Amino acid sequence: MKVLLVLVLFCLTACSSEVKLTEPKPLIKKEEMTKIMGEVALLESYFQHKFGIPSSYKDALNISVDRVLKKHGVTSKNYEDNFRFYASQYEVFSEMNKTIIEQQNKNLLNY
């Protein structure tokens, strides 16, 4: 449920931005970015559930997110730039978030 909340907040962020940003270099393909965003959302959800207060898990979350990014060969700056780029495109970003939600739901059903 918290994953859904995080993803809805991502969508709302995208809604508030009407300016389409220029394509970042290097561009992370939409499918790969969706996978990364899903993993990051899952980590955020886990840490929020486990520890509650953001200040108590901020460092551990950052380390975990850095590991995910490293696994995908992405720097945190590149991830942030790509996140902003995709978030500036409402339809694309909504589709990405829908894919993440569907994958998380599928994972829960198979758990």
Condensed to tens digits (0 to 9), the pLDDT of residues 30-57 reads 999 999 999 999 999 999 999 888 888 9
For the chain, what percent of residues have pLDDT higher than 70? 83
**In the prediction, which pLDDT does 19 show?**
65
pLDDT of residue 15: 55
Length of the chain: 111
Span 59-84, mean pLDDT? 97
Residue type at position 77 = K
The chain-wide mean pLDDT, for the chain, equals: 87
Say if pTM beats, i.e. exceeds, 0.85.
Answer: no
Q: What secondary structure does DSSP assign to 19-76, as a single string?
A: SPPPPPSSPPPHHHHHHHHHHHHHHHHHHHHHH-SHHHHHHHHHHHHHHHHHHTT--H
